[in-house]
Amino acid sequence: MRILVIGATGLLGAEIVKCLSADHEVIGASRKGPALTVDISDKASIAAMYRQAGALDAVICVAGAAKFAPFDALADEDFAFSLANKLMGQINVVRCAREAVQPGGSVTLTSGILAQHPMPGSAAVSVVNAGVDAFVRAAALELAGRLRVNAVSPGWVAETLQRMGRDPAEGVPAATVAQAFRKCVVEDITGQVVSAASTPQ
């Protein structure tokens, strides 16, 4: 398969590229490359990326930011940024994919455990993650037969916890999360939110 990974240079993206590269042609994208450049908060940038990418069998989006901050510190701009970036950015990755991805191909988005298990500071992030989950379930109904659409919902990643000075044993290794993305690409599933968490969601 010919697979585009948006966010390929990130912690999870690099593991996904490693996991898929043995059996597939993988093209990496992010704001700085490595192969294609894209800013998912800009719909025109997404369309331009697809034009450059050529025909694809699958797209994985493991990029997108949302603001984590205490409730009283979250400004209008923080909610607007979060919605435009990780939520609408990923929705537009699907909306713009229909001509680039071969019939029966797939787009896999990324949400996160904070949709189901919020914590102080996660008001904007939880909304965005829940929105991604709802979008794939709804969009899959109308894209059936044309495009498979799924999301992977990671829990805290072990390597991220380690970088934060927390116990990595409480998280799920990035390599395990990468397997959930692989499942969405190779298995004939759509409208699914695949959990990759160390705690039940």
Return the residue of 20, 60, 86, 178 that touches ligand NAP, per CB under 6 A. 86
- Under the binding rule (CB under 6 A), the answer on residue 184 touching ligand NAP is no
- Under the binding rule (CB under 6 A), the answer on residue 63 touching ligand NAP is yes
Token pair of 172 as six digits: 């799920």
Q: What is the sign of the dihedral through the CA atoms of 15, 41, 45 and 138? A: positive
Given the complex with ligand NAP, which of 148 and 181 has the nearer CB atom? 181
The amino acid at residue 99 is: E
Report which of 36, 149, 161, 53 is spatially closest to residue 92, judged by C-alpha positions: 149
Q: CB–CB of 50/70 below 8 Å?
A: no
Given the complex with ligand NAP, which of 41 and 116 has the nearer CB atom? 41
- Under the binding rule (CB under 6 A), the answer on residue 9 touching ligand NAP is yes
Return the residue of 59, 84, 115, 157 that touches ligand NAP, per CB under 6 A. 157
Q: Closest distance between ligand NAP and the C-beta of residue 11, in Å?
A: 4
Q: In what order do the strands lie in the sheet with 193-196?
A: 36-37, 25-30, 2-6, 56-61, 101-110, 147-154, 193-196
Task: By CB under 6 A, name the binding residues for ligand NAP.
Answer: 6-13, 30-32, 38-41, 62-65, 85-86, 110, 112, 154, 156-157, 160
